[in-house]
Amino acid sequence: MLGIRRRLATLEHLVKPLALAFLGCAILALGLGYLLTYLYRTLTLPPIFYYLTLQFVPQMWRGVLFLLVGVGTLSAGVWSLSNKVVIPINNDDRNDEVLLDYRRVDRMPRVVVLSGGPGMLVLASLGRTVESMTCVTPIQDPVEYYYRASSLFNFEKVVFVVPTPQPIQVSFVLDNGQRVRPNDRVSQNDAFAQRYVVDVQLDGETTVDTILVTRMTIESIAAADVIVLGPGSLFESIIPNLLIPEIRQALMQSRAKKIYICSIMTEPGLTSGFTVADHVRQIVRYGGFAPDYVLVNAQRIDTDVQRIYAAANQTPVYLAPEEYEETVVQAIDRDAGSEVVVEGAVVVEADLATAVVQLTASLDDPGKSRTVRVLRHDPDKVAAAIRNILRRGT
């Protein structure tokens, strides 16, 4: 009963308009009744009207029946209208109001994340505002790494799930035909600086027919309200899980809102020259679905930071205007910039990154180290951007 009163309370500012509308309908019905009575008495109507007006029912019960149907219809309309929020524009006696449609959410969302270790740590703060968050680790990474990382923090409602108990590795075919593996660290080898991946394959004797998938992975995807891909390496952290047919099928069948967090910078040897659309195309190619939204960093990158990345053969991942499919999607969020549709995904540009000072060591001379400014996805900014998307509804 309390829930009904709370819902009907949303109509507080519509009491007068509804009362006038009801009075108008009553007067209209009375006039219609007089008109029908006149027609019955003066004209010969087709036999169908005998049944349409229930002439075979006693007049008193006929009136009661029409009253019940009218009350039921009116109640249904009022109940449907209570699913709107009515806000007065001002506080004077004028009836200036704005009407907002909304959807009631009785619980917090369930989130599934497919990303690498650093990306999962970035998203861990979402655990405070969701019912649960299941992080599905990349198939080629040992799950112990994630449990060690999570032990450094107090993450609420966050669990890490290995997608398969089998040891599985992947390999990449580059645009020059060379095959490499994640352990080859191609992104740190200048010889591969201008190369990019054209195919991702399961390595060794592993076949898709023999892969066992953990039940918790499939169940969490099926029950998810939101599925987040990234942030993390496109080919090393996100695509590998999409190679497993059972996981790919679960993702395709899921009705959850799917959000892809695009990389801030390209990865030498993996995504050199990739635009936002190129990243989304790989999701479509290997996952069989286009994300509903793709989050892109719109922060202006400092010239000095860009110079550091350029020296490492990395460039910002940007939107290529010639790849836009639509440009008519309206931005409805103060925190979101312009929006376009690329490869079937709505692109939401927002400030997602923070420049941090990082101590790096040389691979050639481990004894040498230096500090550099790098861009990293900011946990608070990313979480805020995801929450803004969730508030948009379906």
pLDDT over threshold 60, residue 221: yes
Whether 90 contacts 96, CB under 8 Å: yes
Same domain? 364 vs 252: yes
Query: Residue 59's domain spans which residues?
Result: 2-101
| Residue 335, domain CATH | 3.40.50.10680
Name which residue leads in pLDDT, 157 or 112: 112
* 334 pLDDT more than 50: no
Q: What is the overall mean pLDDT for the chain? A: 80
Better pLDDT: 76 or 217: 217
Same domain, 370 and 257: yes
Q: Does 6 or 47 have the greater pLDDT score? A: 47
Given a cut of 60, whether residue 250 has pLDDT beyond it is yes
For residues 179 and 321, membership in a common domain is answered with yes
Q: 78: burial class by Cβ within 10 Å (0-12, 13-18, 19+)?
A: middle
User: Encoding tokens for residue 355?
Assistant: 């420049």
Rounded CA separation 120/55 (Å): 70
Q: Which ranges of the chain does DSSP label H, i.e. alpha helix?
A: 2-8, 15-42, 48-52, 59-81, 117-123, 143-150, 215-223, 239-242, 245-253, 276-287, 303-311, 379-390
Domain match, 50 and 194 both: no
Cα–Cα distance between 23 and 247 in angstroms, integer? 58
Distance CA 50, CA 62 (A): 13
Whether 123 contacts 382, CB under 8 Å: yes
Helix (H) or strand (E) holding 262: none
The tally of domains found in the chain comes to: 2
pLDDT at 97 over 60: no
Give Cβ neighbours of residue 309 (< 8 Å, ≥ 6 apart).
265, 315, 316, 375
pLDDT of residue 333: 46
**Most confident region among 195-199, 307-311, 319-323, 348-352 by mean pLDDT:** 195-199
- Judge if 173 and 309 occupy the same domain: yes
Does 263 score more than 70 pLDDT?
yes
Element (H, E) at 169: none
Residue 245's pLDDT band, with cuts at 50, 70 and 90, is very high
pLDDT above 60 (res 329): no
335-385 tens-digit pLDDT? 444 568 899 999 999 999 998 876 665 545 555 656 677 889 999 999 999
The residue with greater pLDDT, 149 or 391, is 391
Going by the DSSP 8-state scheme, the letter that residue 236 receives in this structure is I
Q: Same structural domain for residues 24 and 121? A: no
Whether 97 and 219 map to the same domain: the answer is no
Chain segment 35-91, per-residue pLDDT in tens: 777 777 777 777 777 777 777 778 778 777 777 887 778 777 766 666 555 555 555
* Arithmetic mean of pLDDT, 274-279: 95
Gap between the terminal Cα atoms of the chain: 29
The fraction of the chain above a pLDDT of 70, given in percent, is: 76
pLDDT, residue 260, reads 98
**Mean pLDDT (whole number) for 295-306:** 87
Q: Label residue 275 by pLDDT band (50, 70, 90).
A: very high
End residue of a domain, out of 65, 82, 101:
101
Where a domain ends, among 101, 129, 151?
A: 101
CB 174, CB 198: distance < 8 Å: yes
Higher local confidence (pLDDT), 64 or 277: 277
pLDDT at site 335: 45
Looking at residues 302-312, what average pLDDT do you find?
87
Does the pLDDT at position 281 exceed 80? Answer: yes
Q: Do 263 and 124 lie in a common domain? A: yes
| CB within 8 Å of 135: residues ≥ 6 apart | 112, 113, 115, 120, 123, 146, 158, 159, 160, 161
Q: Which whole number is the average pLDDT over 131-155? A: 73
Question: In this model, does residue 242 exceed pLDDT 50?
Answer: yes
Range with lowest mean pLDDT among 262-276, 278-292, 335-349: 335-349
Based on the domain organization, do 52 and 127 belong to the same domain?
no
Residue 67: phi and psi, rounded to 5, are -65, -45
Distance CA 224, CA 157 (A): 14
Last residue of a domain, one of 67, 101, 135: 101
Q: Is the domain of 186 the same as that of 204? A: yes
Q: Look at strands 339-342 and 293-297 and give their pairing.
A: unpaired
Say whether both 222 and 311 belong to one domain: yes
User: How much of the chain, in percent, has pLDDT values that exceed 90?
Assistant: 37
What residues form DSSP beta bridges with 261? 295
Distance CA 2, CA 64 (A): 30
Residues 304 and 208 both lie in one domain? yes
Predicted confidence (pLDDT) at residue 103 exceeds the cutoff of 60 = no
